[in-house]
A and B are shown apart, each in its own frame.
Chain A
Amino acid sequence: MFARILRNDLRRGRLASLATLLFVAAAALLVSLAGTLGAELSRALTALLERATTPHLLQMHSGPIDLPRLQAFAAGRPEVEAFQVLEFLNVEGSAFEFGDRTLAGSVQDNGLSVQGRDFDFLLDLDGNVARPAEGEIFVPVFYFKDGAARPGDRVRILGREFRVAGFVRDSQMNSALSSSKRFLVSPADYAALRDRGSIESLIEFRLRDPDALGALEAAYVAAGLESNGPRVGFPLFRMMNALSDGLLIVVLLFVGLLVTLVALLCVRFALLAKIEEDYREIGAMKAIGLRVSDIRRAYLARYAVLAVPGALLGWALSFAFRGPLLANLRLFMGEGGAAGAPVLGLAGAVLVCLLVLAYVRGVLGRFRKLSAAEALRFGAPRETARRPGRLRLAGGLPLGANAALGVLDVLARKRLYGTMLAVLVASSFIAVVPRNLHTTVSAPGFSAHLGIGACDLRADVQAVGDIPGRAADIAAALAADTEVRKSVVLTARAFPVRGKDGSESSLKVELGDHSVFPVAYAEGRAPRSPDEIALSMLSAQDLGMRVGDRLPTAAGGGWRDLTVTGLYSDVTNGGKTAKAAFPGGESPVLWAVVQASLRDPSRSREKAEAYGSAFPYAKVSSLQEYVSQTFGPTIRAIGSASRISLAVALVLAALITLLFVRMLVARDRVSIAALRALGFRNSDLTRQYLARSALVAGAGVLAGSLLANTLGESLAGALISLFGAASFEFAADPLSAYLLIPLAVAISALAATAAGAAGAGRIDVAQTIRE
């Protein structure tokens, strides 16, 4: 009997039941995937960092090192457990030949290295410390995913042939966000090639207690040891490794939460509609002495029948999606072998299920307030809150009776329509924000926010002799090229500077005319006169400097104060750079960058290739290419995310509106029957519902778009700052952001309204009024 009632119930509310089931399943799927992935990531990452014995502190340094002094420093620090210096032989990409393909176009700094002596091990895909024999090479797993090499392939590097013995996971440089990649060779091969490239030293420390990192770093800086290069601590290694999969988990959780919310809304609307329908029966049950908890249990059972299989379905489906989602994680970090992962996944699914049932219980709370006598007498609950407002039909009808009736209803029941409004605000928000983010990051000028001036061509001269001379050669060729509009040479040199706290450090300063291809300044402006300097956000943070402060700098044969004129975001060169316009003098040049813009920017790729072969020592790339290689996957991911969220938003707006309108129709069926008895056509009723939705949807998409362009901008800014850009403003396409997308959301809601309002025409007028 009970089962039959349940079956009839489910059959009668088929759409709402199916929607609830599916959304619970989807929410459970996403949350349990996030749980599983989280557990795997944490285990795999910990395992990788443990097996690789990742250094707690790494100081990269180009230039000669004083090894005895470093050893003495390490020996004198009680917190240091182990110390070593590894070499990284920087080799230009064109010298790596994989069959007929080279790494010339790669923006990574590729180089050779030998296995760590005491720690910082590169691990093969089985998790063992890789030991290449002579003539063998282990390729970074990054290039395995990339498809550049397969085991057994022949690779030529600087003319020497190697056999690919396998692939290595590098706990320091695995991530695409890390700009260097280590190829592992035998000590003999390394020795043979050592003087064919530029050497960078990796000065590495392992600590007894990782918490002592801050103290060691401070002591290292204070001792004035080698520091011509980025300095990275253990937490950053951890974060860089976790970032891409971590973001995936965050997104899964976020979307899972959103879907749970939608499931709750489905439940709410379906349940309220059902209660309206059953009001008289509920009253009768109360009248014959059934307890509220008994009645509540009967309704709860109906949702348990939907939520429990939904959650189980979601959990079961998560096994199917687990493989592909874990593939990347397993490739880069190895098997976490987290035994608890499926359990954590199940816990996520159970959580979603419990949340839904708790919500149902909450909504059913209104049974308590229902008086049996009133339910029996009036059937439907009498809404005391429903009072006519200021607006009246008798006051005139500029838009006709149906529009007026629709508007009046919304104004009289604001709270009821609040839910639909909230859904439409959220829909427009999730449709517009990712879209704006995508147009922003794919706009040509966006690189300026990342510390790269907006030009067409860029030639990096690094790790060769006579950098200034070679850069000048390129500049001369560019100046003679009629296709080039303008060009500029920037040379980077290191100068000692003194921070706010008086400590001295070495700062890499790009010198030249910074007004030609300016970066975007988060604050202030580019340096113009020789006594001005602009700092990257990270440099400014290290030095404790703000715009307007004076920075003591040892340049041109003595200390002088430079005025800080601006701060900019930089993701290049470890993020710690500066820009100035004074002459460099005698200090050695670390690198040079030649930038140029073309009369026809679409030719930048061909030009880059031409200059690349004319000046093989320079890494010439079109900026478009550079950005697409560095940020391409991110931009493409944001692009697909924006398309998916638009689709999700439209479906959400349509589905929730449909369920909402159906609930309204169930709720208002007596009024609807009365209106139809009085001679209102079905099309009149549809118009009234459309008027209600138009008002709510209009307000919703307006608020949603405004929020998207204010709050959304800050949110997107926070996300972008993870990638190093501090100043952020939407470069939105106004047509799509303010017109087309909001319009699409509104149309989707209106179409659903028309579909839902069709139910008003199916109400049996005579029967309903007779009730």
Chain B
Amino acid sequence: MNTILSGERIVKSFGDGAERRNVLDGVSVEIRPGEFVSIMGPSGSGKTTLLYSLSGMDRVDGGRILFEGRDLSGMRDDDLADLRRRRMGFVFQQPTLLGNLDLLDNIILPAVRDDRRGTDRHVEKARDLMRRTGIAGLERRSVSQVSGGQLQRAGICRALLRDPAVLFGDEPTGALNSASAREILDILSEVNAAGTAVLLVTHDAAVAARAGRVLFLRDGRIDRELELGPPDGRGLEDRALRVSEAMRELGI
């Protein structure tokens, strides 16, 4: 099967000695190009750890992770950094924009690291993304001058600037009100429709319903997989109901 990102029997543990415990206990996942996958589970089930492990931000203690056919566990920190910068995009719960840069500079930040002569091109693309995400005109604003929703959109623009193969999201709507959350999710769906794979951690059924597939984690293992069909944005309420039902069955 054609996969862009896969984890095989991933083990990740925290703590020392007798208190050591496996947060991920032999998890295997496969993400296909252009797929939209949500990860759900109760607190402490390891969903965020799985996201960070798959993106190479956390080193795993066992198993292996393949991104576009390359094994991340054998790579040096610098190569992992290069890979994240060039092929992955990240949207966090807190937007983590730099306070001493305006929104536009924050968005072009990952791109200018490699390509100082192409600044104009990046600026052009950033403006286009800002227009598409509804924050055109805020280019010179500082991070303290815009709303949380606007910050999160800027974060998405930053993640998309280099056309990543996979967009990782860690509760990207967790700190937003429902209207802003919906708009952000619409944007993510659009991005996915354009061909970018999306991997999202959430505890919200309505958010998970955007995905084509939902993975339920419990005690460091995948407890269940729910296929929701193509993530075309139709029948969202029905899909959300199916997710909620599965959560109830699993006692989440």
Contacts and interface: CB of A to CB of B under 8 A. Distances in A.
A386 B99 CA distance: 6
B96 A673 contact: yes
Nearest to B78: A681
Given A392-B105, A677-B57, A681-B78, A770 B100 contact: no
Interface in B78-109: 78, 81-86, 88, 90, 92, 94, 96-102, 104-105, 108-109
A378 to B, nearest CB: 8
Given A383-B99, A394-B105, A678 B119 contact: no
Nearest to A412: B100
Given A387-B142, A388-B101, A673-B96, A679 B49 contact: no
Contact of A393 (B88, B112, B140): B112
A723 interface: no
Interface string B145-174: 000000000000010000000000010000
Contacts of A684: 81, 113
Contacts of B158: 678
Interface in A712-771: 761, 765-766, 769-770
A397 B116 contact: yes
A392 B100 CA distance: 10
Nearest to A396: B119
Interface in A503-521: none
A679 B78 CA distance: 8
Interface magnitude class on chain A: 35 or more
A401 B100 contact: no
Contacts of B104: 392, 394
A388 B90 contact: no
B144 interface: yes
A680 interface: yes
Contacts of A280: none
Contacts of B88: 679
Contacts of B58: 765-766
B85 A678 contact: yes
Contacts of A383: 99
Contacts of A671: 96, 98-99
B112 A401 contact: yes
Nearest to B86: A679
Nearest to A382: B144
A388 B96 contact: no
B57 A683 contact: no
A401 B96 contact: no
A769 B96 contact: yes
A484 interface: no
A487 to B, nearest CB: 70
Given A393-B119, A674-B98, A401 B113 contact: yes
A769 B100 contact: no
Contact of B57 (A382, A392, A404, A766): A766
A469 interface: no
Nearest to B106: A393
A400 interface: yes
B33 interface: no
B206 to A, nearest CB: 23
Contacts of B109: 393, 401, 675, 678
**Residue among B48, B78, B85, B116 facing the most chain A CB atoms (10 A cut-off):** B116
Contacts of A765: 52, 57-58
Given A397-B112, A401-B113, A677 B90 contact: yes
B57 A682 contact: no
B226 interface: no
B69 to A, nearest CB: 19
Contacts of B190: none
**Residue among B57, B77, B78, B88 facing the most chain A CB atoms (10 A cut-off):** B57
A264 to B, nearest CB: 27
Contacts of B57: 676-677, 765-766
Given A401-B116, A682-B77, A769-B92, A409 B85 contact: no
Q: Would you call the interface of chain A mostly helix, strand, loop, or mixed?
A: helix
**Residue among A393, A397, A413 facing the most chain B CB atoms (10 A cut-off):** A393
B110 interface: yes
B10 to A, nearest CB: 14
Nearest to B110: A678
A408 B108 CA distance: 15
A638 B127 CA distance: 63
Contact of A681 (B48, B81, B90, B101): B81
Interface string B43-82: 0000011001000011000000000000000000110011
A482 interface: no
Contacts of A676: 57, 81
A391 to B, nearest CB: 10
A670 interface: yes
A8 interface: no
B13 to A, nearest CB: 14
A502 to B, nearest CB: 73
Contacts of A769: 92, 94, 96, 170
Contacts of B170: 769-770
B119 A394 contact: yes
Nearest to B105: A393
Interface string A643-684: 000000000000000000000000000110111111111111
A675 B98 CA distance: 9
A388 B81 contact: no
A228 B57 CA distance: 90
A284 B38 CA distance: 33
B250 to A, nearest CB: 23
A766 B82 contact: no
**Residue among A404, A408, A680, A683 facing the most chain B CB atoms (10 A cut-off):** A680
B114 to A, nearest CB: 8
**Residue among B82, B98, B112, B119 facing the most chain A CB atoms (10 A cut-off):** B98
Interface string A671-713: 1011111111111100000000000000000000000000000
Nearest to B58: A766
B123 interface: yes
**Residue among A383, A394, A412, A765 facing the most chain B CB atoms (10 A cut-off):** A394
A384 B96 CA distance: 15
A609 B94 CA distance: 85
B100 A386 contact: yes
B107 to A, nearest CB: 9
B85 A766 contact: no
Contacts of A386: 99-100, 142, 144
Given A382-B144, A676-B81, A770-B48, A394 B99 contact: no
Nearest to A684: B113
A679 B98 contact: no
A402 B114 CA distance: 10
Contacts of B112: 393, 397, 401, 404
Nearest to A409: B100
A675 B105 CA distance: 13
Nearest to A399: B116
A388 B100 contact: yes
Given A408-B100, A679-B85, A769-B96, A388 B142 contact: yes
Interface in A396-420: 396-397, 400-402, 404, 408-409, 411-413
Contacts of A683: 78
B82 A679 contact: yes
**Residue among A401, A411, A677, A682 facing the most chain B CB atoms (10 A cut-off):** A677
B213 to A, nearest CB: 24
A680 B100 contact: no
Nearest to A410: B100
Given A386-B99, A388-B100, 15 more contacts: A386-B100, A388-B140, A393-B105, A393-B112, A394-B119, A396-B119, A397-B116, A401-B109, A404-B112, A675-B109, A677-B92, A679-B85, A679-B88, A680-B113, A766-B57
14 contacts: A387-B142, A388-B101, A392-B102, A393-B109, A394-B123, A394-B139, A671-B98, A677-B90, A678-B85, A679-B84, A679-B88, A681-B81, A766-B57, A769-B94
The 4 closest A-B pairs by CB, nearest first: A679-B85, A412-B100, A674-B96, A766-B52
